[in-house]
Amino acid sequence: MRIVLWFMALFGIAVASALFAGNNHSTVTVFWAPYRVDLSLNLVLLLLAASFVVLHFALRALSGLLRIPLQAKRWRLQQKVRSMDSALLDSLSHLFAGRFVRARKAAELVISLEESLLRGGERLAYAGRLRTMSHLLAAESAHALQDRAVRDVHLQQALEHAQGREAQDARDGVQLRAARWAFEDRDAGAALQWLDQLPQGASRRTIALRLRFEAARLDGQSSAALETARLLTKHRAFSEAAGKSIAIGLAVEMIRAAHDQVQIQRVWDALDDSERSIPEVALEAAERLLSHGGEVAVSRLWLLPIWDTMVQSADALTLAQRVRLARALECGFSAVDGAPDAAWLTRIETAQMGNPRDAVLQYLAGVVCMRLRLWGKAQQLLKQSVMMLQDTQLKRDGWRALAEMAEQRQDAKAATEAYKEAAKR
């Protein structure tokens, strides 16, 4: 359809030209003393059109001739840029392939080509970022080769060229790599210093948080590592199970690092409510507090959520955790100011009656009765518990308690038998 329209247009122009030229008897007279030249109007129009065409092409030829030096300069610039791009790709491919010497040489070639371009009076719009990335690749290769001196030189040069708002991402990348190199050198302090220099937005990125977590663990900063682990779990960098496991390990580590009641209380206050309700954490804190002569009431307050969890669901705690809970409460009851109050007495009695086949609860109830000097009931509960207890140490303590009560009754035979059973464990 388009071709047909073109033909119709050409035919129309041809017809109009024929009608105009065939019926045009006008002339143009040119007076050039002492001559007079008469020309037809059609010829004058053709000459004008031809002159325009010739002049147009002559000007284009002249413009092309004058642009030859500029085009040559532009071609040389393109060749250098292509060489730099090729060298940069070579550096990346060699780095990923583990050919670190070649990767560093290719990165240094990019830097030398850019410097020659700058000496020639040309400057790329992205020259700063190009130099930054080239120095970073060279530093990465030097780090892989354990050449720390060369690595540090390229690192400083990368930081110098990563200036300005447009190069902020490149600067963040350089600082993150520097932190990673320091961590791999087992210098956790330097790694944390590099991370502290990051802007607020960059410091909360997942890669930065992971690196801060690893560096804090290496530096022994359990509190900072725990705070970072919380953020990573919140950002779903850790699964819920992994985050909980890490939090347990760090919280227990912090509690074990505390050496007096004040430090233990400070660590406990720094934990979240969800972390305080974890059995391992609460048991460790209570045991640590009691071992340092802390208040028994405080330890029981920490253990209360764990106790409620055990009472509500028999399978909520493992056997080892239930034994630790019983021993922690027993340790509090044995203290001078740790006599069981009415509330705990009611809790233990209710739990034991609600689950009479639970040997751990029977043992704990027997210990409470023993502390309250209810010898008959204590002996009954402890005898029932030692027959069903699976924990060896708890069973040994049960037989020892029976032996002590037999000695108080001056029953030497029963005390001897109980001591023999305890010695077997």
pLDDT tens-digit profile of 250-259?
A: 999 999 988 8
Q: Place 139 in a pLDDT band, splitting at 50, 70 and 90.
A: very high
Q: Does residue 286 have a pLDDT over 70? A: yes
Q: Is 319 helix (H, G, I), strand (E, B) or coil?
A: helix
Segment among 85-94, 304-313, 391-400 with least mean pLDDT: 391-400
Query: In which residue are the tokens 């939090």 written?
Result: 247
pLDDT at position 339, please? Answer: 67
Distance, C-alpha 192 to centroid of its chain:
14
Mean pLDDT score, 403-409: 79
Query: In which residue are the tokens 């037999």 written?
Result: 406
When the pLDDT of each residue in the chain is averaged and rounded to a whole number, the result is 85
pLDDT at position 387, please? Answer: 82
pLDDT at position 73, please? Answer: 80
pLDDT at position 175, please? Answer: 92
pLDDT at position 23, please? Answer: 66
Q: Place 24 in a pLDDT band, splitting at 50, 70 and 90.
A: low
Residue 239, Cβ density class (10 Å: 0-12 exposed, 13-18 middle, ≥19 buried):
exposed
392-408 vs 412-424: helix axis angle to the nearest 10?
170
Segment among 84-88, 233-237, 268-272, 284-288 with least mean pLDDT: 233-237
Q: Place 18 in a pLDDT band, splitting at 50, 70 and 90.
A: low
pLDDT at position 5, please? Answer: 81
Q: Place 400 in a pLDDT band, splitting at 50, 70 and 90.
A: confident
Q: Does residue 336 have a pLDDT over 60? A: no
Mean pLDDT score, 29-46: 77
Mean pLDDT score, 90-105: 93
d(CA 338, CA 368): 11
The CATH homologous superfamily of the domain defined by 339-425: Tetratricopeptide repeat domain (1.25.40.10)
pLDDT at position 425, please? Answer: 61
8 Å CB contact between 227 and 215:
no
- Percent of residues, the chain, with pLDDT higher than 90: 28
d(CA 214, CA 73): 52
Q: Place 11 in a pLDDT band, splitting at 50, 70 and 90.
A: confident
Q: Does residue 176 have a pLDDT over 60? A: yes
Q: Does residue 411 have a pLDDT over 80? A: no
Segment among 105-109, 182-186, 337-341 with least mean pLDDT: 337-341
Q: Does residue 65 have a pLDDT over 70? A: yes
Q: Is 272 helix (H, G, I), strand (E, B) or coil?
A: coil
Dihedral (Cα; 179, 185, 187, 193), 10-degree rounding:
-10
pTM to 2 decimal places: 0.73
pLDDT at position 182, please? Answer: 93
pLDDT at position 331, please? Answer: 85
Residues 6+ apart with CB under 8 A from 159: 171, 174, 175
Mean pLDDT score, 322-326: 88
